[in-house]
């Protein structure tokens, strides 16, 4: 039941009957009627004037009269200059609501065997530190984007690339070796990722102290960095790791094992998952082989210090390092290898990387290098580039230990939800402590996720925990509360034995029409979010629908409505508002509680 297609086809018929001319439906301009005018849809008539040879008002009037006489769903029309405002019959809106109610998973399209396969990469953590606020935005965007792409009829593979090797990993390993005294997650009571993160911070503190000491002896900063014994040890450890040194590899496996246990706990709590995890310790060798093959073919070149480079100046870029002089890999080399393995493992039609906008240039180069190496899918890569998350206090720095830890933030959000619920008082008093805790978890994490996802992903954002958990305004808890309200009304209606079937009421209010109109728009919202890679489109739709329903709830009776037909209609409307809110929020990875 696509109303706009029906209207466009009828307008085309009107043009043919009235003016004897064919006019393609794709050229017909229909818009939602502006709030200050009466009507549901507005037809722009100016394109038809060359056919009608009449003034805009006359043309609009003639088309309006034809539609009113030949299309039963047109209730009335009015003309404002060159615009024809069409009001749709209340009975149509009621039938449309019944159609939405009868349609399973309204707004989404299931995948088929022939559907394209889209791989979405997100998270990409380093094993030298726990997940932080920036990772939360990445994971939430990646997970929501995967859901939205799947809801548009695609097969989706959610994937993660773990940065489990490199100089930064060696820094944590070396620090633990020097100052750890055999500390483990079990002996310290810390999550493994937090424990390793502490040693990454410890390395940086000792390194800075070492630089200060060398600079006091008269060295410049650059000279001190080049002469640093600590950094030289870290580099030596990386060379040993790449050479397969048994002792270094054993330490690496032990420490990474601790980190993975910590990551898994955080992912589960955040509500995100992956279908396939890749590790750079596996992919860098594939990338290294490919770079050396490219060197043999003359695609790349070797400098005097034995490092390998790509010259992209002819493509308007610069020269890019691919292998260091000691033969070790860089991120670009690893990404080349990872891309190859993925396309070897899956028949991918599209590859989407969810990575911050500071890596825009990196993905521009990666796409170009893959294309030069002869991989047909190189130029088709999609970099879903998003802005950074900042706090009122400013930017975060991992090596200085000033990041907002993901686990701590989730704890804070859940505690804030509990305190807010207690302030509102009374509504959860008949629940057990476990049930209350579960609702507070859903509210707290819902507030966090929605606040992150409602903002256009391309923009930098300021995260304010207190603002995010407000039960009023454009927040997750406001939408969750609206869903809980629809469920409460449904329960009370069932307990009272309310009638569930009805014939169309004689009239329905403008508010009710607006809500059905919004429910009808949901499939288009999901399609647009998939086309634009925009979770914020879904988030803001959910808020607008919740706001519209709450205004209706305050203005009209539902359970106390005396007319049984009207009451049954409003209960069906309420139930479908809840259904669509739940679907929208689930696409964002946000749970909705049955009670609040």
Residues 25 and 235: their CA atoms lie apart, in Å, by 66
- Where are the domains positioned within the chain? 3-88, 125-390, 406-587
Cβ count near 456 (within 10 Å): 14
Kindly report, residue by residue over 421-445, the tens digit of the pLDDT. Answer: 888 766 777 889 999 999 999 999 9
Q: What is the pTM of this model?
A: 0.90
Work out the average pLDDT over 216-220: 93
Taking CA 99 as the corner, what is the angle to CA 76 and CA 24, rounded to the nearest 5 degrees? 55
CATH superfamily for domain 125-390? HUPs (3.40.50.620)
Q: Please, where are the H alpha helices in 217-330?
A: 221-227, 229-242, 246-270, 280-296
- Per-residue pLDDT tens for 358-405? 999 999 999 999 999 988 778 889 999 999 887 776 544 444 445 688
Pairing of strands 301-302, 30-32: unpaired
Distance, in Å, from the CA atom of 547 to the CA atom of 36, rounded to the nearest integer, reads 19
Q: Which two tokens stand for residue 285?
A: 């060798």
What pLDDT, on the 0 to 100 scale, is given for residue 428? 75
Helix (H) or strand (E) holding 42: strand 41-44
Residue 589 CB partners (closer than 8 Å, separation 6+)? 140, 143, 144, 147, 271, 272, 449
Per the prediction, the chain carries an average pLDDT of 93
315, pLDDT greater than 80: yes
3-state helix vs strand vs coil in the chain, percent to 5: 60, 10, 30
The CATH class of the 406-587 domain is mainly alpha
Q: Which of 169-173, 300-304, 500-504 has the lowest mean pLDDT?
A: 500-504
- Residue 1's pLDDT is what? 56
Give the three-state DSSP class for 129: coil
Q: Does domain 3-88 have CATH number 3.30.1360.70?
A: yes
Structure tokens belonging to residue 23: 């006019």
């Amino acid at each position: 039941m696509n109303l706009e297609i029906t209207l466009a086809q009828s307008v085309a018929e009107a043009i043919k009957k009235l003016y004897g001319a064919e006019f393609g439906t794709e050229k017909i301009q229909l818009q939602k009627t502006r709030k200050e005018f009466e009507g549901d849809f507005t037809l722009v008539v100016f394109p038809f004037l060359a056919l009608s040879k009449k003034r805009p008002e006359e043309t609009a009037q003639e088309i309006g009269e034809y539609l009113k006489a030949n299309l039963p769903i047109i209730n009335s029309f009015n003309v404002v200059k060159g615009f024809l405002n069409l009001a749709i019959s209340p009975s149509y809106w009621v039938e449309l609501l019944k159609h939405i109610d009868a349609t399973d998973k309204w707004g989404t399209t299931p995948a088929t065997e022939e559907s394209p396969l889209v791989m979405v990469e997100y998270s990409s953590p380093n094993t030298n530190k726990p997940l932080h606020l920036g990772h939360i935005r990445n994971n939430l965007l990646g997970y929501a984007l995967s859901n939205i792409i799947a809801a548009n009829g695609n097969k989706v593979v959610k994937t993660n690339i773990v940065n489990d090797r490199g100089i930064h990993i060696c820094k944590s390993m070396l620090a633990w070796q020097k100052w750890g005294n055999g500390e483990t997650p079990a002996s310290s009571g810390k999550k493994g990722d937090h424990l390793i993160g502490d040693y990454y911070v410890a390395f940086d503190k000792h390194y800075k102290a070492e630089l200060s000491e060398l600079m006091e002896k008269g060295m410049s900063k650059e000279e001190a960095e080049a002469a640093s014994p600590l950094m030289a040890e870290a580099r030596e450890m990386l060379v040993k790791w790449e050479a397969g040194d048994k002792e270094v590899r054993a330490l690496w496996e032990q420490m990474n094992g601790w980190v993975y246990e910590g990551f898994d706990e955080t992912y589960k709590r955040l509500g995100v998952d992956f279908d396939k995890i890749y590790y750079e310790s596996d992919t860098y060798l594939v990338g290294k082989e490919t770079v050396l093959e490219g060197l043999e073919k003359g695609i790349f070149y070797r400098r005097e210090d034995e490092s390998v480079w790509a010259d992209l100046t002819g493509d308007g870029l610069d020269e890019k390092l691919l292998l260091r002089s000691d033969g070790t890999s860089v991120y670009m080399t690893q990404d080349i290898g990872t891309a190859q393995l993925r396309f070897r493992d899956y028949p991918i039609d599209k590859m989407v990387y969810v990575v911050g906008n500071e890596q825009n240039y990196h993905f521009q180069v990666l796409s170009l290098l893959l294309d030069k190496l002869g991989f047909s899918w190189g130029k088709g890569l999609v970099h879903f580039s998003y802005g950074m998350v900042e706090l009122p206090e400013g930017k975060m720095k991992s090596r200085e230990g000033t990041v907002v830890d993901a686990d701590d933030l989730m704890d804070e959000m859940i505690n804030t939800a509990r305190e807010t619920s207690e302030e509102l008082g009374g509504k959860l008093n008949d629940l057990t402590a476990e049930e209350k805790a579960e609702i507070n978890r859903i509210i707290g994490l819902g507030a966090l996720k929605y606040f992150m996802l409602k903002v256009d992903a391309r923009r930098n954002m300021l995260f304010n925990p207190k603002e995010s958990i407000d039960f009023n305004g454009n927040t997750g808890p406001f939408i969750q509360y609206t869903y809980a309200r629809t469920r409460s009304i449904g329960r009370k209606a069932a307990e009272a034995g309310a009638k569930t079937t009805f014939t169309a009421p004689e009239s329905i209010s403008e508010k009710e029409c607006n809500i059905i109109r919004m429910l009808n728009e949901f499939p288009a919202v999901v399609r647009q979010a998939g086309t634009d890679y925009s979770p914020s489109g879904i988030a803001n739709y959910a808020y607008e629908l919740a706001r519209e329903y709450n205004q209706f709830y305050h203005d009209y009776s539902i359970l106390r409505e005396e007319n049984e037909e009207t009451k049954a209609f409003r209960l069906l409307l309420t139930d479908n508002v809840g259904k669509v809110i739940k679907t929208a929020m689930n696409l964002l990875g946000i749970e909705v509680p049955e009670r609040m």
